[in-house]
Amino acid sequence: MSFEEAINGTVVEFSDGDLVKGTVVRIDRDEVLLDIGFKSEGVIPSRELSIRNGVDPSEIVSLGEEIEALVLQKEDQEGRLVLSKKRAQYERAWGRIEEVKEAEGVVSGLVIEVVKGGLIVDIGLRGFLPASLVELRRVRDLAPYIGMELEAKIIELDKNRNNVVLSRRAWLEETQKDQRDSFLDNLKPGEKRSGVVSSVVSFGAFVDLGGMDGLIHVSELSWKHVDHPSSVVTVGDEVDVEVLEVDRERERISLSLKATQTDPWQEFANSHQVGELVYGRVTKLVPFGSFVQVGPGIEGLVHISEMSAHHVDLPEQVVTPGEELWVKIIDLDLQRRRISLSIKQAAEGGVVAAEYQAAFGEHQYDSSGNFIGEFEDMAADGEESEAERAWREYYEEHGEEAYRQAIAEYEEQPADGELSAEDTDETPPAEVAEEV
């Protein structure tokens, strides 16, 4: 036997796709050389070392280390075997992961990358962990998870598509089931609890109660209309809530923020009655009238028939959004949470609501519409409200008689027209009335 034949007899033959073992003999920036007993050394390009992107080869392997690799190409231009360490790991990992999935077990891996919609976890191959399945509640900032070792359940596996989807949330739910059951058992509807807002979404806000998250639906955030939950709460806010419902089967907790606050409708109904005058601000015009805010979270309707003593075609002929004015309460339905108001009847006089009486005393009008009651100067006692200022300025400028005369002249106008400035030497009555 010749020397060449003896050498060839000791050299192992390889084919593409074979798994081989070898010893690291050289580490360069762009490749690693492996002694696998072939006539030449095998080469692993740096991109084939790890499923992690852009890593230094020296962080993956060390000189003298024995590793496994998969044959990608029998010979390159230099006659070397082209190998892949990551694909060898991939083949080994698939077999292991399929067994774990079959047994409904758990995999563990290092978070190596943040991608759109979630995390990439190194479990021997690239496993995708969606952001919604990282924790029991959705996590907004995923960056802190880089470098963390996480355990997760495999919820989807497709080798043909190279697709592995993980769920840490499923693992947490499984391992924390006893804790959650105990927490739910001790949570009763009607209880007041403190928590921290953990997430704000379009339909409400989630609150961490110290063991589980509960949902405050947008309708339970405030007694006022809420366009978006973010206008009421933000992530990190500490809030007091009331437990509305505990669903043990679905493990869901319904909470209310507004239930811990005073019902403005109840408060308004307790302190006001039909026939009183209140000061408000026009918030919206609709074809059938206008809405006027007369208290925090309290809006009442001035029907178009109650806007003026004369026929009104459109609400904007009488009021504009943002305008502040006096209205009379003509109906108050607490059960239906509805208040009917009248601008027309406010001009006829009445008892001023209690919150304004500190400024105006017992404002009362006799049967002829005369104001009887004494105005108290608030300047010496403190700052005036807008309502107080409006009343004071009008009476100082026009006096009671001027007001009654203006209203009387206004009511005498034809229904289909108005007096022009040329018809009288005085300011048009409608304009005088609108100054109130």
pLDDT in tens, 283-314: 999 999 999 999 888 899 999 999 998 999 99
Cα-based angle 186, 187, 192 (whole degrees, multiple of 5):
130
Q: What is the dihedral of CA 320, 324, 326, 331, to 10 degrees?
A: 70
Tokens 């740096």 belong to which residue? 46
The ranges of the chain annotated as CATH 2.40.50.140 are 3-88, 104-174, 189-260, 265-421
Averaged pLDDT for residues 190-213: 91
Q: Which CATH class is domain 104-174?
A: mainly beta
Rounded alpha-carbon distances, angstroms, from residue 9 to 13, 41, 396: 10, 17, 119
Mean pLDDT estimate for the chain:
80
Q: Give 5's pLDDT tier (boundaries 50, 70, 90).
A: low
User: Percentage of the chain with pLDDT > 90?
Assistant: 37
Contact present, 22 and 80 (Cβ < 8 Å): no
User: Among 3.90.550.10, 2.40.50.140, 2.60.120.260, 3.40.50.150, what is the CATH number of 265-421?
Assistant: 2.40.50.140
In this prediction, residue 329 carries a pLDDT of 94
Q: Give 248's pLDDT tier (boundaries 50, 70, 90).
A: confident
Q: Is the pLDDT of residue 354 over 70?
A: yes
Residues contacting 218, CB < 8 A, separation 6+: 202, 203, 204, 226, 228, 229
Task: Give dist(CA 207, CA 216) in Å, integer.
Answer: 7
Cβ count within 10 A of residue 190:
8
Q: Is the pLDDT of residue 166 over 90?
A: yes
User: Among 3.40.640.10, 2.40.50.140, 2.60.40.1190, 3.10.180.10, what is the CATH number of 189-260?
Assistant: 2.40.50.140
User: Percentage of the chain with pLDDT > 70?
Assistant: 78
In this prediction, residue 350 carries a pLDDT of 75
Three-class SS state of 423: helix
Cβ count within 10 A of residue 384:
16
Task: Give dist(CA 109, CA 433) in Å, integer.
Answer: 77
In this prediction, residue 42 carries a pLDDT of 87
Nearest Cα residue to 347 out of 327, 332, 329 = 327
Three-class SS state of 350: coil
Q: Is the pLDDT of residue 358 over 70?
A: no
Averaged pLDDT for residues 114-139: 90
Q: Give 14's pLDDT tier (boundaries 50, 70, 90).
A: low
DSSP H or E stretch at residue 13: none
Contact present, 45 and 51 (Cβ < 8 Å): no
Residues contacting 273, CB < 8 A, separation 6+: 329, 332
Cβ count within 10 A of residue 368:
7
Q: Is the pLDDT of residue 191 over 50?
A: yes
Give the pair of three-digit tokens for residue 257.
């923020």
Nearest Cα residue to 43 out of 63, 60, 27, 61 = 27
Q: Is the pLDDT of residue 378 over 60?
A: no
Which residue stretches of 202-299 are H helix? 264-271
Nearest Cα residue to 323 out of 290, 301, 288 = 290
Rounded alpha-carbon distances, angstroms, from residue 230 to 82, 204, 261: 56, 9, 18
Tell the CATH topology of 3-88.
OB fold (Dihydrolipoamide Acetyltransferase, E2P) (2.40.50)
In this prediction, residue 110 carries a pLDDT of 93
* Amino acid letter, 265: W
Averaged pLDDT for residues 212-232: 90
Q: Is the pLDDT of residue 376 over 50?
A: no
Tokens 């400035």 belong to which residue? 421
Task: Give dist(CA 199, CA 233) in Å, integer.
Answer: 10
